């Protein structure tokens, strides 16, 4: 059954806009768990414009579900991950100046680097996932890198869903099946929402985890955090 991991970066963005500690991101993580979230995701970036490295250190001991840290495995990020030892690390090739993640890894061209990073994290007992575009060859490449899972970058699916949802999901299903055939676990994330989540899970019911942040926080402004998390859970728990 698919698990919901809530990305709390946007809560940190609100805090950082004003300074101080309101809203409290550590408390927000606990409340997300109280309301049914089965994991917490953070994506610390070098400029710390939302989640800060010290947030990760503070949050880690309080998490009662699964803790997923995602980001580009630059040395400072790798050191942080190995320090706090999350349940999962998701490797994302985002540039330092990227507003948000905008592409997956080329797991073939970057095999040597990814193999070294995956090996390092797995030696510490951390499940390792590689962020990829919907391309079966990238899933197969991730397997050769030693990854435990891949996370499908779902921005294109979300963008094209309103006009032709079957066409939008086709490359994701193909890639998901390739990952499954390789023995990889399957995660998905980016721009998944109450509009498009149910169809994604219905089509690919063996998705292990979805990581959602921006849409949840946007919906929470209107619906409240508890009601919003329960609404997302309702989208993925019917299969």
Q: Dig out the tokens for 229 from the structure.
A: 């998390």
Q: Which of 33, 43, 50, 209 is catalytic?
A: 43
Helices marked H in the chain:
9-18, 25-34, 53-59, 75-84, 111-123, 136-144, 155-160, 165-182, 197-203, 214-223, 225-236
**CB under 8 Å to 51, separation ≥6 — which residues?**
8, 9, 12, 25, 42, 43, 44, 45
Single out the catalytic residue among 33, 50, 66, 70.
70
Q: Determine the Cα–Cα distance for residues 213 and 60; give it in Å rounded to an integer.
A: 18
**Residue 190 bears catalytic tag:** yes
Q: Give catalytic status of residue 214 as yes or no.
A: no
Catalytic residues: 43, 70, 190
């Amino acid at each position: 059954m698919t698990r919901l991991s809530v990305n709390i970066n946007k809560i940190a963005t609100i805090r950082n806009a004003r300074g101080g500690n309101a809203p409290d991101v550590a408390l927000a993580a606990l409340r997300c768990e109280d309301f049914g979230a089965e994991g917490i995701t953070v994506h610390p970036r070098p400029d710390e414009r939302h989640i800060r490295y010290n947030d990760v250190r503070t949050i880690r001991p309080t998490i009662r579900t699964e803790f997923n840290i995602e980001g580009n495995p630059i040395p400072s990020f790798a050191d942080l991950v190995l320090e706090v030892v999350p349940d999962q690390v998701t490797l994302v090739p985002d540039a330092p100046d990227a507003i948000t993640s905008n592409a997956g890894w080329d797991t073939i061209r970057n095999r040597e680097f990814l193999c070294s990073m995956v090996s390092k994290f797995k030696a510490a007992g951390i499940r390792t996932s590689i962020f990829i575009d919907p391309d079966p060859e990238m899933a197969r490449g991730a397997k050769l890198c030693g990854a435990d899972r891949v996370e499908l970058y779902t921005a294109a699916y979300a963008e094209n869903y309103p006009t032709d949802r079957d066409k939008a999901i086709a490359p994701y299903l193909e890639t998901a099946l390739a990952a499954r055939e390789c023995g990889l676990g399957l995660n998905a994330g980016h721009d998944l929402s109450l509009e498009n989540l149910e169809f994604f899970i219905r089509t690919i019911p063996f998705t292990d985890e979805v990581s959602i942040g921006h849409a949840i926080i946007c919906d929470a402004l209107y619906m409240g955090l508890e009601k919003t998390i329960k609404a997302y859970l309702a989208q993925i728990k019917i299969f």
